[in-house]
Homo-oligomer: A and B are copies of this chain.
């Protein structure tokens, strides 16, 4: 199970009643934050899932609305009751260390270590944070921007009937279930004998800021939830979307359709879009169950079988 919360839905600048776009992912008690604009720590506090459990921060790119809250958040994590030896891992495009360290001119002393991890958008490069696997692909934006795919694997089903047939006493079954081999009374038992075929895990895509393209659609194919930027609602703003390297609602909906995302949440609305719900039909025409993102909206991605 993965819990996901939207912390904000705004692009460019924070507004009264609209935090900057950001998301929080909870998996096995650990929190992963995606993007950290000005005010994200306030939204985190309102959400109430905790702050000191943030072990990983993923930054999509270095535009201020996606990273300006970093020094404040790090200080706030530092002021929490977090264990001093627990590092925070900060993942981002090339130069992530330089950018965050520059911002830390006002947050030089932190009680925990920071681990920096650059990603270049090579989809084969994977980070495993306690079972949550993070991969990225490079978006099409004004500056290098990472589109993230977060996923967890799921082990094959344990088949008790097959286990019983092996003759191995029940108390040893758990080892086979974990993928270990067991030698008992001179005979070796293998996990394959008691496990079913591989099963589908869970995955989440976070796609902002970017133009859509085939590469990204392939990278995000089949996600359970796609959180996708939809900066412009009005179809008349399509030329702006192209020029500023963003997407319209309709384009985001099309990405939802072509990736076959099970759920689609739109976010990163332009400050000029005063009522994101107003343009819903633009997306709904293509992806009927589209969700127009709202702050502190949450969901739990769970195995369906």
Q: Does A75 sit at the interface, judged by CB under 8 A?
A: yes
Distance from A17 Cβ to chain B, minimum over Cβ atoms (Å): 9
Q: Which of B14, B71, B105 contacts A41 (CB 8 A)?
A: B14
Q: Which stretch in A62-70, A144-152, A185-193, A247-255 binds the other chain? A: A62-70
Within 8 A of B (CB), among A12-71: 12-16, 37-39, 41-42, 45-46, 62-65, 67-69, 71
Q: Which of A67, A99, A105: most chain B Cβ within 10 A?
A: A105
B39 touches A76 (CB 8 A): no
Distance from A5 Cβ to chain B, minimum over Cβ atoms (Å): 15
Cα separation A299 to B243 with both chains bound (whole Å): 44
Cα separation A102 to B71 with both chains bound (whole Å): 12
Chain A interface category by residue count: 20 to 34
Cα separation A102 to B76 with both chains bound (whole Å): 20
B16 touches A42 (CB 8 A): yes
Q: Does A106 sit at the interface, judged by CB under 8 A?
A: yes
Cα separation A76 to B15 with both chains bound (whole Å): 11
Q: Does A128 sit at the interface, judged by CB under 8 A?
A: no
| Residue of chain B at shortest CB distance from A65 | B72
When distances are taken between beta carbons in the complex, the residues of chain B under 8 Å from A15 are: 42, 45
| Residue of chain B at shortest CB distance from A106 | B64
Q: Which of B13, B14, B99, B107 contacts A106 (CB 8 A)?
A: B99
When distances are taken between beta carbons in the complex, the residues of chain B under 8 Å from A72 are: 13-14, 37-38, 64-65, 68
Q: Does A182 sit at the interface, judged by CB under 8 A?
A: no
Distance from A60 Cβ to chain B, minimum over Cβ atoms (Å): 13
Q: Does A103 sit at the interface, judged by CB under 8 A?
A: yes
Given A105-B99, A105-B103, the answer on whether A39 and B68 have CB atoms closer than 8 Å is no
When distances are taken between beta carbons in the complex, the residues of chain B under 8 Å from A39 are: 14, 38-39, 42
Q: Does A79 sit at the interface, judged by CB under 8 A?
A: yes
Q: Which of B45, B64, B68, B99 contacts A16 (CB 8 A)?
A: B45
Cα separation A56 to B156 with both chains bound (whole Å): 63
Cα separation A71 to B69 with both chains bound (whole Å): 10
Given A69-B38, A71-B64, the answer on whether A46 and B79 have CB atoms closer than 8 Å is no
Using a CB–CB distance below 8 Å, which chain A residues touch chain B? Answer: 12-16, 37-39, 41-42, 45-46, 62-65, 67-69, 71-72, 75-76, 79, 98-99, 102-103, 105-107
Top 10 closest pairs, chain A to chain B, by CB = A102-B105, A64-B106, A38-B72, A16-B46, A102-B102, A68-B72, A13-B76, A14-B42, A39-B39, A64-B71
**What are some 13 contacts across the A-B interface (CB < 8 A)?**
A13-B72, A15-B45, A38-B39, A38-B41, A39-B39, A39-B42, A62-B105, A64-B71, A65-B72, A68-B72, A99-B105, A103-B105, A103-B106
With A13-B75, A16-B42, A99-B105 given, can you name 10 additional A-B contacts, CB distance below 8 Å?
A12-B79, A14-B42, A15-B42, A15-B45, A39-B42, A64-B107, A65-B72, A68-B68, A68-B106, A103-B105
